[in-house]
Amino acid sequence: MKKLLLIATGGTIACRETENGLSPALSGTELLHFIPQLSDFCTVDVCDLMQLDSTDLTADDRLAMAQAVRRDADQYDGFVIAHGTDTLAYTAALLYHILTDLTKPVVLTGSMLPMGASSSDAPRNLLDACRVAADGRAGVVAVLCGKILPGNRVVKFHSTQIDAFLSAGAPPLGTVGADGKVRWDVPAAPPAPSAPAALDPHVLLLKLTPDLEPSFFSALHGYPKVILETFGAGGIPARLEHAVRALIESSTRVYITSQCTAGGVHLHHYAVGRRAEALGAISLGDRTTEDALAAVMCGEI
Ligand code: ASP
């Protein structure tokens, strides 16, 4: 019998209707009451860490989740984090970078409808997440709608439908079938050596639009790290060249990502991309937005 820890953090999965709209209310133990099948293959302890809509989570909250896992890493075979879906991808990516050396599964899940609501995806997602955590494969993943998504590739692409997540730029790692069987389609990655020493949340993500005014950049001078979400394969518009150069000269590190969900940045391809290279901007490759933020916050790039 596998021993798991459920870390409850809030989100729709734990929500109840209030006079102010949906708000997290269910404890981890209350969530577990909805999936009695768990006792067939595992025992689950509960850590009620926080009860928040994931819109309200900050880096400190995400670090608290990582610490809750580390504190009890020797006690459990796997960890399940029940989380709001809106920023689940940010948490998955950050934990992916922070818990690189962990030899246990860490599985994030949530739901689009509250636990107990008619046709809710919550019981299936929580049960599937526990099945994946009990399966024993190390690493940070998200389990939603039967898919096992790598922690650094999670994207929420739909705000209302039940199947709301995809794995950007790489196939899902596997699936959990209707029969409850965990199937891995991608081989396990070897464990990475060590976790980052410190985390700097002072990273600004700025979306370029075709008419963004160059004067806007002067307000950012000296800000530690700025990620520019550019178009397609990546590049700096000619009319912003001077403004981005001044920003870099002000000691801000400037990174380039793409508005495209997959395919990544290829700065050497077009003249507009070479312009970015010549300015000293750093490509974030094919990372998702959430993974790019996590990698930069952890000082990996
Ligand atoms: N607003 C909710 C949250 O992210 C949405 C959800 O969980 O589906 O906490």
Residue 189 has pLDDT above 90, yes or no: no
Nearest to 1 by CA among 180, 129, 133, 134: 134
Nearest ligand 1 atom to alpha carbon 87? 4
Q: Which residue among 15, 86, 111 is best mutated to probe the pocket of ligand 1, counting the most ligand atoms within 8 A of its Cβ?
A: 86
Q: Which residue among 13, 49, 85, 290 is best mutated to probe the pocket of ligand 1, counting the most ligand atoms within 8 A of its Cβ?
A: 85
What pLDDT is recorded for position 195? 74
What pLDDT is recorded for position 112? 98
Residue 8 has pLDDT above 80, yes or no: yes
288 is written with which tokens? 């998702």
Ligand 1 centroid to residue 21 C-alpha, Å: 12
Q: Residues with Cβ < 8 Å from 261, sequence gap 6 or more? A: 155, 157, 166, 168, 169, 288
What pLDDT is recorded for position 247? 98
Mean pLDDT within 70-93: 98
Nearest to 32 by CA among 140, 137, 126: 126
Residue 197 has pLDDT above 80, yes or no: no
Ligand 1 centroid to residue 12 C-alpha, Å: 5
Q: What percent of the chain has pLDDT over 70?
A: 100
Nearest ligand 1 atom to alpha carbon 12? 7
What pLDDT is recorded for position 129? 99
Nearest ligand 1 atom to alpha carbon 112? 8
Ligand 1 centroid to residue 268 C-alpha, Å: 39
130-167: per-residue pLDDT in tens? 999 999 999 999 999 999 999 999 999 999 999 999 99
Instruction: Specify the residue with its C-alpha closest to ligand 1, atom 3.
Output: 84
Instruction: Specify the residue with its C-alpha closest to ligand 1, atom 7.
Output: 84
Question: 201 falls in which pLDDT band (50, 70, 90)?
Answer: very high
Nearest ligand 1 atom to alpha carbon 10? 9
Q: In this structure, is the dihedral angle defined by the CA atoms of residues 151, 156, 161 and 163, taken in order, positive or negative?
A: negative
Ligand 1 centroid to residue 5 C-alpha, Å: 21
Active site residue 12: yes
Q: Is residue 265 within 8 Å of 234, Cβ to Cβ?
A: yes
What's the chain's average pLDDT?
97
What pLDDT is recorded for position 234? 98
Q: What percent of the chain has pLDDT over 90?
A: 97
Nearest ligand 1 atom to alpha carbon 164? 8
Question: 26 falls in which pLDDT band (50, 70, 90)?
Answer: very high
Residue 194 has pLDDT above 80, yes or no: no
Residue 191 has pLDDT above 80, yes or no: no
Ligand 1 centroid to residue 163 C-alpha, Å: 14
Give residues (CB < 6 A) around ligand 1.
11-12, 53-55, 84-86, 110, 112
Mean pLDDT within 207-235: 97
**Cα–Cα distance for residue pair 234/228, rounded to 1 Å:** 9
Mean pLDDT within 242-251: 98
What pLDDT is recorded for position 89? 98
Ligand 1 centroid to residue 280 C-alpha, Å: 38
What pLDDT is recorded for position 70? 97
Q: Is residue 295 within 8 Å of 301, Cβ to Cβ?
A: yes
What pLDDT is recorded for position 175? 98
What pLDDT is recorded for position 256? 98
